[in-house]
Chain A
């Protein structure tokens, strides 16, 4: 389905995850973060661009991997994106919800 985010129509699934990463831009990221009550700091952006790089390389994401990435440790990851950090961060980053749960 389609949703208007930051004034732009984008494709999202029923949980609100973007289904076409090429439609993503920083304004959309900010708008999605605002929906999760997060205002993005430079640290947030570092984590988001790391997550997007991994997605481009088709590396499956997990909280464990992000904790070992050297970009952010798990405690800080939770502080940046409270409650369910991987789900929140991937949603803001415009990539699918990680399929680490089978």
Chain B
């Protein structure tokens, strides 16, 4: 009997368990998936929780409800991966010998990387919304906050869901308008990049939206320190931005397990072939989702597209066939812009987001890089799709794993 082990039962790991269960011969392969947690969180929901749009119940379900029969779920902390000997060592003392390992351990915030970030003001006037605890604490703060300077801030790239902080700023604008206190709130968007997003056309569209909503933007800001006493953030060039409420996206890092196992880079991401999703160092290790260092967005949609290609490549690997270098960095993200509207972006390694229609060229119904209510409905419907379609590894109709060029208005 051969064994395939999946590390991490989040979005990517769960999808792989569901794909492979259908593809691998039960008589020949055992599939194990390991996670220390028992809850599966719908992470995009962390964006809506602070504004009382979602409740905790909308976001949290049990991991075991999404792991298919025939896949063994182990709830244990992974101590180390001994890649030379193909062994996974667990905290309980158990060891698993694997033939194939899939790393799907994700990325998490590391506020300790910036001086003073998780200091005395942490969760008092300095918040994150990339964890459930942070998002919930921020909800409680926003319920009573009487206004002042709100600073929405990105520490450094790459981060999970690079549009989330922008969405936060847009939703905050809308939230305070609805509470009739927008005039009491000054919103500033602070980013280490030169503009709102990483790609030029989307940046132009999003910069315009920030301007329209009266949100100030401070770009090229590389934070050195959070000054807790004087409530300001200071960058390496000496620039200072005061805040009454700081909502920051701390440095994101891969799991510490990668550091312990010598498998990660300086941010604990696993060096991975960006086309095949195979580890660059170990042939029997594959990496999916936020855990890898590939230059694609760290987002659930990316993991979904990767999962289709990775499943194929694992079957090829088992048969001894050459792997397909097929993953193109495809990402598809709804961007909430407030007031019940959203825009949609669809892009890959080589094609930046542009205007157009999606998924049917010339028809839509979704509009690329333009605000619409339909896009917002799409974003809200996505939670249902996530729990009921995406995690099960079911192909989403009309949306291919690699990006479609038709329907997009390239120059």
Interface residues of A (CB under 8 A from B): 60, 62-65, 68, 74-75, 77-78, 82-84, 87, 99-102
> In whole Å, how far is B189's beta carbon from the nearest beta carbon of chain A?
15
| B194 within 8 Å of A (CB atoms) | yes
Tell which of A62, A77, A83, A101 touches B198, judged by Cβ atoms closer than 8 Å: A101
Tell which of A62, A77, A84 touches B156, judged by Cβ atoms closer than 8 Å: A62
A sample of 18 cross-chain residue pairs with beta-carbon separation below 8 angstroms, ordered by A number, consists of: A62-B156, A63-B192, A63-B222, A64-B156, A64-B267, A65-B266, A68-B266, A78-B237, A84-B194, A84-B220, A87-B194, A100-B158, A101-B158, A101-B192, A102-B157, A102-B295, A102-B296, A102-B298
State in angstroms the CA–CA spacing of A100 and B297 once bound together: 11
Contact check, B297 vs A102: say whether CB atoms are below 8 A apart. Answer: yes
Tell which of A60, A75, A102 touches B236, judged by Cβ atoms closer than 8 Å: A75
Contact check, B224 vs A102: say whether CB atoms are below 8 A apart. Answer: no
Q: Which residues of chain B from 223 to 282 have a CB within 8 Å of any chain A CB?
A: 224, 236-237, 266-267
Contact check, B162 vs A74: say whether CB atoms are below 8 A apart. Answer: no
Interface residues of B (CB under 8 A from A): 156-158, 162, 192-194, 198, 220, 222, 224, 236-237, 266-267, 295-298
Q: Which residue of B lies closest to A63 (CB)?
A: B222
> In whole Å, how far is A10's beta carbon from the nearest beta carbon of chain B?
22
Known: A64-B266, A102-B157, A102-B162; 16 extra A-B contacts, CB below 8 A, are A60-B295, A63-B156, A64-B156, A64-B267, A74-B222, A74-B224, A75-B224, A75-B236, A77-B236, A78-B222, A78-B237, A87-B194, A101-B198, A102-B198, A102-B296, A102-B298
> In whole Å, how far is A100's beta carbon from the nearest beta carbon of chain B?
6
Closest 10 CB pairs of A and B: A78-B236, A84-B220, A101-B198, A101-B157, A78-B237, A102-B158, A101-B193, A74-B236, A102-B297, A100-B157
Instruction: Give chain B residues whose Cβ lies under 8 Å from the Cβ of A62.
Output: 156-157
Interface of chain B, main secondary structure: loop
> In whole Å, how far is B51's beta carbon from the nearest beta carbon of chain A?
26
Instruction: Give chain B residues whose Cβ lies under 8 Å from the Cβ of A102.
Output: 157-158, 162, 198, 295-298
State in angstroms the CA–CA spacing of A65 and B156 once bound together: 12
Q: Which residue of A lies closest to B193 (CB)?
A: A101
Contact check, A99 vs B295: say whether CB atoms are below 8 A apart. Answer: yes
Instruction: Give chain B residues whose Cβ lies under 8 Å from the Cβ of A82.
Output: 237
Instruction: Give chain B residues whose Cβ lies under 8 Å from the Cβ of A83.
Output: 220, 237
Q: Which residue of B lies closest to A76 (CB)?
A: B236
State in angstroms the CA–CA spacing of A60 and B224 once bound together: 22
Instruction: Give chain A residues whose Cβ lies under 8 Å from the Cβ of B266.
Output: 64-65, 68
> In whole Å, how far is B377's beta carbon from the nearest beta carbon of chain A?
27
State in angstroms the CA–CA spacing of A64 and B267 once bound together: 10
State in angstroms the CA–CA spacing of A85 and B95 once bound together: 47
State in angstroms the CA–CA spacing of A82 and B296 once bound together: 29
> In whole Å, how far is B90's beta carbon from the nearest beta carbon of chain A?
31
State in angstroms the CA–CA spacing of A75 and B194 once bound together: 19
Instruction: Give chain A residues whose Cβ lies under 8 Å from the Cβ of B224.
Output: 74-75
